Amino acid sequence: MHILVLNGPNLNMLGTREPEHYGTQTLGDLEYMLRQEAAQMGITVTCYQSNHEGSLVDQIQAAYHTADGILINPAAYTHTSVAILDAVKAVKLPTVEVHISDPDTREEFRKISYIRQACIATVKGKGFAGYIEGLHILYDHITAAQGQ
């Protein structure tokens, strides 16, 4: 089983960026943690971060042939991007939306998530642990769908 992990804009600044919302660990720490967890689960992950909407769309499209599921934190594009929603709908891969903070308890504009309607689950407000939870949700979903 192979999972594509996508992180959107400004998440390359984790560790520096607004630690009151996102903590002090880096994107490198997050990706290392996910690779370790994946190895323990007997699956593989590809981690990718971009500040560009079109690059995220390209990665989702490429996943059509290479991945069994997508774990995505679209960051600010959560609240604006119909293009990322449409890409997830196009590839029809099981997708989990994850957020480090809980956007629903912050500013009004963060309460809208375009991608949510195309996701099998949303995990929010649990820090980096939310990514691990999301990985397990995908694993269980894909395993069940394979009838194993």
Q: Catalytic one among 99, 114, 131, 139?
A: 99
Q: Is 80 helix (H, G, I), strand (E, B) or coil?
A: coil
Tokens of 87: 């890409």
| Piece of 25-33, 37-45, 85-93, 99-107 that binds ligand DQA (CB under 6 A) | 99-107
- Using CB under 6 A, pick the residue from 49, 59, 101, 122 that binds ligand DQA: 101
Give the strand order in the sheet containing 44-49. Answer: 44-49, 2-7, 69-73, 95-99, 121-124
How far is residue 40's CA from residue 95's CA, in Å, rounded to a whole number? 21
Nearest to 11 by CA among 34, 39, 44: 34
Say whether residue 122 binds ligand DQA (CB under 6 A). Answer: no
Instruction: Identify the residue among 1, 41, 76, 91 touching ligand DQA (CB under 6 A).
Output: 76
**73 forms part of the interface with ligand DQA (CB under 6 A):** yes
Structure tokens at 40: 């323990």
Q: Provide the mask over 8-37, with x wherever binding to ligand DQA is found by CB under 6 A and - wherever it is not.
A: --x---------------------------
Tell whether residue 71 is a contact of ligand DQA (CB under 6 A).
no
State how far the Cα of 89 lies from the Cα of 94, in Å rounded to an integer: 10
Binding-site ranges for ligand DQA (CB under 6 A) = 10, 73, 75-76, 78, 99-101, 103, 110
Q: Which residues are catalytic?
A: 22, 99
